[in-house]
Structure 1
């Protein structure tokens, strides 16, 4: 449960820093409406593009599993945000209560085991579409069912709780770095040399097993400025 609670706390902190203290009411400090459901299904669509699902284009290309894992982390940001908002608006409790309920899901115990196996492409896409259905449905959202389906996707994508946690923390640091370097006003440069910043972050994080979050931030700063002097 500790890793789930920390991720929820980090996400709540990031949302407040970027959107203001009324973000759980569905509005940013700039008065812009927040739609976490749309964030999820749009990110899921990008996730599907990690696969060669098009029968008319690049039919022999290989699936991009590294990109899929990054997109899984992005979706997790939005699912946690939606869950915190749901608990706040429906008076279910705070992040601690949410963390407890998540840790009691059967699918949570499944991801708390080491896994590096990828499921067949067709099965992964079907699971992604299940998640999209949750957020596109006009029925009342069942946040626990959405999270359970997401945890199924985590396993199918070759991830587990430890790798989900580590990649999430890495992406959280990258998101902070983006905000500090002009992401909102459009001056931030997302491609560093020939690679997206997501790819660079993932490689640095994986190659330096003992790296701490603040050290990762400093390393990203050094690399970013080496390409964007």
Structure 2
């Protein structure tokens, strides 16, 4: 439960910094409507792009498993945000109550076990499409089902709670870094010397298991400044 609670707390803090204190009302501090469900299904579509699913193009191309895992983490950002918003608006409680409820889900035990195995591409895409179907179901949307299916996806993508947490913290810090360096006004450079910043961040994490959030932020700053000087 501790790692779930920490991720929820980090997500709430990031959302407040990005969208304002009243973000759970569904509107940002800049009067922009927030639609977490749309964020989820659009990221899910990008996730499917990790596979050579087109029967007419690049049929022998290997799946981009590393990108799949990053996209899974991106979806988790939005699922947590949707869940926090749901609990706030339905008066179910804050992140502590949400973390407890998540840890008591039947599927939670699946991600709380070390895992490095991938399911087949078709199985993963079918699970992603099931998640999309749920969030698009306006009449019978089920938050608990969404989280449980996401946990299925975590396991199918070769992740577990520990690796999900590590990648989430990395992407959370990268998102903060983006916001601090012009992401909203469009001045931020997302491709660093031919590599997307997601890839750079993941490599930094892979090269050291002991990076604190502050140390990761500082390392990204150093690399980004080096990029702008070259």
Normalising by structure 2, what TM-score? 0.98
Partner of 1:106, secondary structure, is coil
- CA distance in structure 2 between the aligned counterparts of 1:10 and 1:212, rounded to whole angstroms: 14
Write out per-residue CA displacement over residues 104-160 of structure 1, whole angstroms, 9 at most, x where no aligned residue. Answer: 011111100100000000000000001101111122421111000000000000000
Tell me what 1:156 maps to: 156
Tell me what 2:225 maps to: 225
Write out per-residue CA displacement over residues 13-53 of structure 1, whole angstroms, 9 at most, x where no aligned residue. Answer: 00000000110000000000000000000000000000010
Tell me what 1:49 maps to: 49
- CA distance in structure 1 between the aligned counterparts of 2:55 and 2:149, rounded to whole angstroms: 27
Tell me what 1:103 maps to: 103
Tell me what 1:67 maps to: 67
The answer for unaligned runs of 5 or more in structure 2 is none
- CA distance in structure 2 between the aligned counterparts of 1:144 and 1:66, rounded to whole angstroms: 27
Partner of 2:107, secondary structure, is helix
Tell me what 1:127 maps to: 127
- CA distance in structure 2 between the aligned counterparts of 1:36 and 1:59, rounded to whole angstroms: 33
The answer for unaligned runs of 5 or more in structure 1 is none
Tell me what 2:183 maps to: 183
Write out per-residue CA displacement over residues 163-189 of structure 1, whole angstroms, 9 at most, x where no aligned residue. Answer: 000000000000000000000000000
Tell me what 1:20 maps to: 20
Tell me what 2:112 maps to: 112
- CA distance in structure 2 between the aligned counterparts of 1:155 and 1:221, rounded to whole angstroms: 32
Write out per-residue CA displacement over residues 54-112 of structure 1, whole angstroms, 9 at most, x where no aligned residue. Answer: 00111110000000000000000000000000111111111111000000011111100
Of residues 205-214 and 3-12 in structure 1, the stretch that sits farther from structure 2 once superposed is: 205-214
Instruction: Give 1:210 deviation, angstroms.
Output: 1.1
Q: How many residues align?
A: 229
Tell me what 1:37 maps to: 37
- CA distance in structure 2 between the aligned counterparts of 1:141 and 1:121, rounded to whole angstroms: 26
- Alignment RMSD (CA, Å): 0.6
